[in-house]
Amino acid sequence: HSADGYDVIEFITKNDSPMYNLQINTALNAGNSRYGTQLPISAVLNAGIVGRYRIHAHELGHAWLGFDDLYDTGTSEKYLGGWDLMDGAGGISELSSWLRWLPGWIEDTQVRCITEPGETRHFVSPLNFSSVQPKMVVVKLSNVSALVVELRVPTKFDFNKESVVVYVVDTRYLSGNGPI
């Protein structure tokens, strides 16, 4: 079979597999990917996790979108305190505004950028509501870091309570080392 037209291929084993959550990303010959990226296709093997949709979503976040682990892979410390799906495969939350903005799920017009010191006021609509209103405020801290502010409300996929979430994105840190 050809992998042309696909960006990710996921292989899933049954739940009683002796291997649990073994995730392997392998580059396949891409040909033309669905989105025309010309990038290799990711193959993901998720062993023993049938029905665990959060783990599937987390691993596909790596394979399809290139998202980083937002937890310490040695200690399992959640750098975002559970506020992002990439903060741990068993998380209780959806994706943060930053990770939604990277693939274009939040439009640039929905981001309020602050680059100069001073006082400003901004309205942000809940991150998980469908609207064209602003979804996030980004405050430039340096050429490699920014402070991000977003509003979260509970949904069937986001079990956290209503909160304003504030975090720092720092591109000097790699996956598993606290990039957010």
Give the DSSP letter string of 124-137.
---TTS--SS--EE
Residue position matching structure tokens 């739940």: 15
> Could you tell me which residue, 118 or 18, shows the higher pLDDT?
118
What are phi and psi for residue 99, nearest 5 degrees? -75, -20
- Model confidence pLDDT, tens digit, residues 57-98: 777 777 777 788 888 878 878 888 888 888 875 556 788 999
Predicted local distance difference test score (pLDDT) of residue 35: 44
Q: How far, in Å, CA of 41 to CA of 30, rounded?
A: 5
Q: What residues contact 57, with CB distance under 8 A and at least 6 apart?
A: 85
pLDDT band at residue 33, thresholds of 50, 70 and 90? very low
Q: Give yes or no for residue 176 having a pLDDT over 70.
A: yes
In this structure, what DSSP letter does residue 81 have?
Answer: T
Residue 158: how many other CB atoms lie within 10 Å: 19
Q: What is the pTM of this model?
A: 0.77
- Taking only the tens place, the pLDDT of each residue in 116-152 is 999 999 999 998 888 899 999 999 999 999 999 999 8
Band the pLDDT of 4: cuts 50, 70, 90. Answer: low
Taking the C-alpha atoms of residue 87 and residue 83, their distance in angstroms, rounded to an integer, is 7
Distance between CA 10 and CA 60 in Å, rounded? 8
Q: Which one has a higher pLDDT value, 48 or 126?
A: 126
C-alpha 10/C-alpha 31 separation (Å) is 18
pLDDT of residue 42: 59
**What is the chain's mean pLDDT, rounded?**
77
49, two tokens: 């996790």
